[in-house]
């Protein structure tokens, strides 16, 4: 399914950043949504109105405004749980984002469950955010870290290796639902089922999938899932950790402070149950309301359509890039997500992004917070184009033109 252009034009009209005239009188071809997505008017307006007229701290005041703010904050939590199909046996916790969600579990769950000699299983393609907190946990505990390999040119995760490594019963398997570099989805439900068979706890880094495709936690069956609102049309500063209640209800808190305690005496403290136990201090209230608005906005458009649209543009971009002499696309032939990373023989990734910026095409260049993966692919860096609902076919053509221009400029 590809999106009819008329629908895409309506989607584009929801995003004020496209009102600005950029280089050559056209709006920017924004191809860096994998780093952070642009915000639709519906999200900006909801946050603005909430901050102006409905704002107060939550879970504290008995006055109307505070009670209203608390209702809005809790409604955003319910919206998030429904959007991700979390079900009543899971708890949805507001965090600052994916990075904080990983750290939360690496401390709260990791301290309670991981012991010397245990193995933590990751993959070679993980973002540093879903790698370094587990490595630090392993160091604290004297555990080992193993990595499921990716196949040649980063075309896929080696599933046979993953299943063999899971059969050795690591304590945890933490992996990305969608790579932020390689442009494929991992078969999360299959991997979680394999992990469950061996009693392995699973942590799904869904930073690149939530808001880009339908994500159904019940169907996937992961124990923990993390995501960030800012990659899904929502604001920065807020994200989610969704965890099985049975795993979270007996965990100690990872941060101490206001709102997460039931009783404090000079010599004793008892904690509230999750989610409050894991939300110490004043939470990102306006941002949580913005997250709810972003999920409403995306649900109204339909995640299937958003996914199909990004995928169609990414496939066109990848096919076009492959035809440019000296350009190699990493990852699979057939795109699985809207991400396309590539290397050009004669052009350093940073020069490429600098050159395309001159043509009004915003790309990301570098290691994408996945340095071990770059090492595995044998490249210092890649240039990445990532597509989302507000991109169109013209953005693809501008990308291909700009990259071809850079290749001939730097060859000369
Ligand atoms: C796969 C993946 N995991 C984790 C993160 C970290 O997300 P955040 O910076 O929002 O915490 C990112 C961000 O790029 C990502 O792409």
For the chain, domain boundaries: 5-30+302-411, 44-299
The answer, yes or no, to whether residue 135 has pLDDT greater than 90, is yes
Question: For position 251, what pLDDT does the model report?
Answer: 96
Instruction: Report pLDDT for 4.
Output: 65
What separation in Å is there between the alpha carbon of 98 and the centre of ligand 1?
6
Task: Say yes or no to pLDDT of 212 above 70.
Answer: yes
Most ligand 1 atoms within 8 A of CB, residue of 185, 186, 208, 212 to mutate: 208
8 A C-beta contact, residue 313 and residue 396: yes
Cα separation, 201 vs 211, whole angstroms: 24
- Whether residue 154 contacts residue 331, with contact meaning beta carbons closer than 8 Å, is answered with yes
Q: Are 5-30+302-411 and 44-299 the same fold in CATH?
A: no
What the block records as the tokens of 361 is 């095409």
Give pLDDT tens digits for 344-393: 998 999 999 999 999 999 999 999 999 999 999 999 999 999 999 999 99
Q: Is 32 in the pocket of ligand 1 (CB under 6 A)?
A: no
pLDDT band of 2, cuts 50, 70, 90: low
Which pLDDT does position 332 carry in this prediction?
97
Residue 315 Cβ inside 6 Å of ligand 1? The answer reads no
Active site residue 369: yes
Q: Which atom of ligand 1 is nearest to the CA of 230?
A: 10
Number of Cβ within a 10 Å radius of residue 138: 23
Quickly name the fold that domain 5-30+302-411 has. Answer: 3.90.1150
- Each as own residue / partner, the long-range contacts of residues 248-251 (CB below 8 Å, 24 or more positions apart, any chain) are 248/91, 248/108, 248/109, 248/274, 248/278, 249/91, 249/273, 249/274, 250/112, 251/108, 251/109, 251/112, 251/277
Span 236-261, mean pLDDT? Answer: 96
Average pLDDT over residues 213-240: 98
Instruction: Tell me how far the alpha carbon of residue 385 lies from the centroid of ligand 1, in angstroms.
Output: 16
* Residue 392 CB less than 6 A away from ligand 1: no
The per-residue pLDDT for 411 is 86
CB 97 near ligand 1, within 6 Å: yes
Can you tell me which atom of ligand 1 is nearest the CA of 97? 11
Pocket test for ligand 1, best of 123, 131, 180, 331 (most atoms within 8 A of CB): 180
130 lines ligand 1 (CB under 6 A): yes
Q: What confidence score (pLDDT) does residue 5 get?
A: 67
Q: Looking at the predicted structure, is the pLDDT value of residue 119 above 80?
A: yes
How much is the pLDDT for 334? 97
Q: How far is the CA of 231 from the centre of ligand 1 (A)?
A: 8
Length of the chain: 412
Q: 238 in ligand 1 pocket by Cβ < 6 Å?
A: no
- Summarize the confidence of residues 140-157 as an average pLDDT: 97
pLDDT value of residue 412: 73
Residue 98 Cβ < 6 Å to ligand 1 = yes
The answer, yes or no, to whether residue 323 has pLDDT greater than 80, is yes
The predicted structure's pLDDT at residue 25: 87
Mean pLDDT of the 267-275 span: 97
Q: Which band of pLDDT confidence, cut at 50, 70 and 90, is reported for residue 23?
A: confident
Strand runs labelled E in 272-404: 327-329, 339-344, 361-362, 364-366, 382-386
Question: Is pLDDT at 55 greater than 60 in this prediction?
Answer: yes
- Are the C-beta atoms of 219 and 80 separated by less than 8 Å? no
What pLDDT is attached to residue 236? 98
pLDDT above 90: residue 196? yes
* Predicted local confidence at residue 24, as pLDDT: 79
**Exactly one of 222, 227, 233, 369 is catalytic; which is it?**
369
Q: Which atom of ligand 1 is nearest to the CA of 228?
A: 10
- Coil, strand, or helix at residue 206? coil
Q: What's the CA-to-centroid distance between 386 and ligand 1, angstroms?
A: 14
Q: Please state whether the predicted TM-score (pTM) of the whole model is above 0.95.
A: yes
Does residue 117 register a pLDDT over 90?
yes
Give CATH for domain 44-299: 3.40.640.10
386 in contact with ligand 1, CB cutoff 6 A: no
Does residue 364's CB lie within 6 angstroms of at least one atom of ligand 1? no
pLDDT per position as a tens digit, 152-173? 999 999 999 999 999 999 999 9
- The pLDDT mean for the chain works out to 96
Q: What are phi and psi of 262, to 5 degrees?
A: -95, -50
pLDDT mean over 113-129: 98
pLDDT category, 239, cuts 50, 70, 90?
Answer: very high
232 upstream amide cis, omega within 30 of 0: no
Mean pLDDT of 311-332: 98
Ligand 1 atom at minimum distance from 205 CA: 3
Is the pLDDT reported for residue 3 higher than 70? no
Share of the chain above pLDDT 90, in %: 95
């Amino acid at each position: 399914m590809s999106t009819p252009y008329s629908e895409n034009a309506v989607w584009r009209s929801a995003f004020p950043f496209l009102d600005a005239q950029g280089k050559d009188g056209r709006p920017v071809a924004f191809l860096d949504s994998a780093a952070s997505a642009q915000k639709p008017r519906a999200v900006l307006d909801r946050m603005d109105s909430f901050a102006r007229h409905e704002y107060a701290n939550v879970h504290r005041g008995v006055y109307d405004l505070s009670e209203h703010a608390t209702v809005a904050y809790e409604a955003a939590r319910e919206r998030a749980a429904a959007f991700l199909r979390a079900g009543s046996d899971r708890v949805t916790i507001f965090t600052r984002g994916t990075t904080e969600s990983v750290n939360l579990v690496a401390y709260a769950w990791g301290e309670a469950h991981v012991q010397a000699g245990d193995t933590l299983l990751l993959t070679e393609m993980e973002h540093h955010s879903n790698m370094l907190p587990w490595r630090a946990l392993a160091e604290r505990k004297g555990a080992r870290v193993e990595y499921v390999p990716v196949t040649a040119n980063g075309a896929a995760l080696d599933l046979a290796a993953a299943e063999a490594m899971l059969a050795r019963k690591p304590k945890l398997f933490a992996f990305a639902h969608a790579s932020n570099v390689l442009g494929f989805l991992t078969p999360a439900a299959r991997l979680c089922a394999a992990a469950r068979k061996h009693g392995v706890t699973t942590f799904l880094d869904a930073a690149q999938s939530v808001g880009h495709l339908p994500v159904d936690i019940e169907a996937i069956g992961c124990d923990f899932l993390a995501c960030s609102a800012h990659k899904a049309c929502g604001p920065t500063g807020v994200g989610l950790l969704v965890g099985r209640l049975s795993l979270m209800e007996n965990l100690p808190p990872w941060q101490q402070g206001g709102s997460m305690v039931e009783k404090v005496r000079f010599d004793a403290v008892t904690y509230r149950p999750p989610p409050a136990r894991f939300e110490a201090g004043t939470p990102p209230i306006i941002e949580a309301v913005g997250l709810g608005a972003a999920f409403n906005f995306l649900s109204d458009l339909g995640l299937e359509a958003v996914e199909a649209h990004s995928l169609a543009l990414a496939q066109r971009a990848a096919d076009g890039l492959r035809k440019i002499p000296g350009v190699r696309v990493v990852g699979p032939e057939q795109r699985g997500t809207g991400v396309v990373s590539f290397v050009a023989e004669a052009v350093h990734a940073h020069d490429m992004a600098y050159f395309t910026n001159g043509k009004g095409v915003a790309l990301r260049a570098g290691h994408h917070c996945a340095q071990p993966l770059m090492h595995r692919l044998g490249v210092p860096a890649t240039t990445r184009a990532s597509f989302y609902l507000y991109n169109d076919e013209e953005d693809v053509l501008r990308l291909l033109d700009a990259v071809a221009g850079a290749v001939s400029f730097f060859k000369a």
